[in-house]
Structure 1
């Protein structure tokens, strides 16, 4: 079994980062995490690539992990649902096992880990917010009610609206991000596509996706 890193901040080399990827092989599915979070009062949603597959209604590719997001102040409620697990704070190629409140305040990602195997199961984003108003961490002037940014599958799994998932993916436009944009953008209803163009124009003026959106 892989030994957990010592307490305190750990700076990770590229090789160590790659080794961590193998510990996500048994990440939960959206359905599994939804069953564990049934009844929580805080708004939460599946994020990133899995959110786009929930929008499509089917899994279209292998996902390296499972990411969900919550209002940062409500992390204790989520943490209580995973009392049998440990968690590490992550950010900027660094890892904080058993993080202090100060460590949590300095990061926004939290990896929940099975202590019996050291496998990571779910990545919890602790997002900025004001009450029940979501704040985009890439551009804090973008503020929306949680009710406006969360969709649900027919069986009730919450996920981030596809246009906001694509907004986050616009930052790096890795090959998988470009593939997701090419697959999802034509499927968006006109109002969502217009909001995506507006948001990308606000955050990333001149982004190449703007021209592609204009042609749809």
Structure 2
């Protein structure tokens, strides 16, 4: 199996999607680091809420469900607003799965949906791996992982923290102070 074969496959699926997007979660951390650091049981992508219908056009062979209060419900053509931010896709023929996370924007800024005072320039949200695969900025991934962090989230933090640029560490530290003020990662940044 090729390194990042799962991410390469998703990049191929998304080739007809004309909006900005990127691999999210633990895979994004591995793409940032440049190697697979652990086993991943699923794969998520992030895209801007404004591009949600573009997703269906790009993946016509997929069915989609929206996560509503912990329950998956068929997503038809309706516009998804907050608090709905998670979509689950299944390829109708082969059963491949993809989780899609909708991200908020305002005035060219990405807005953290859990705390609107935390933002980042929209143009900085997605980076490209050496393989040409877009992924969510690792500081943003770690911010999402910080609340209710599991063992794998701590592993992702430890794998990525020393590779973050100084300004990205500082952005993450300040965001954590606002979002989870007593988080142990704050002192490690």
Band of TM-score, shorter chain: 0.7 to 0.9
Contact (CA 8 Å) 2:61, 2:93: kept in 1 or not? no
The answer for unaligned runs of 5 or more in structure 2 is none
Which whole-Å CA distance do the structure 1 matches of 2:87 and 2:29 have between them? Answer: 21
Q: 1:191 & 1:133 partners in 2: Cα distance?
A: 17
Q: Which runs of 4+ in 1 moved over 4 A?
A: none
TM-score by length of 1: 0.77
Give me the CA root mean square deviation: 2.0
Cα distance in structure 2, aligned partners of 1:202 and 1:209? 13
Within the candidate set 17, 23, 34, 1:57 is matched to: 34
Could you say what secondary structure the match of 1:165 adopts?
helix
The answer to whether the Cα contact below 8 Å between 1:69 and 1:125 also exists between their aligned partners in 2 is yes
Q: What is the Cα deviation at residue 144 of structure 1?
A: 2.2
The one-character-per-residue Cα deviations of 1:153-202 (angstroms, maximum 9, x if unpaired) are 12321111111111111111111111111221122232222221111112
CA–CA separation in structure 2 for the residues paired with 1:129 and 1:168 = 16
Secondary structure of the structure 1 residue equivalent to 2:15: coil
| Contact persistence 2:34–2:130 (CA under 8 A) | no
Q: Which runs of 5+ in 1 are unaligned?
A: 1-27
Give the conservation status (yes or no) of the 8 Å contact 2:24–2:135.
yes
**Paired residue for 2:6?**
29
Taking structure 2 as the reference length, the TM-score comes to 0.87
CA distance in 1, matches of 2:132, 2:107: 23
C-alpha separation in 2, matches of 1:159 and 1:35: 14
- Alpha-carbon distance in 2 for matches of 1:54, 1:147: 18
Q: Aligned equivalents of 1:42 and 1:114: distance in 2? A: 20
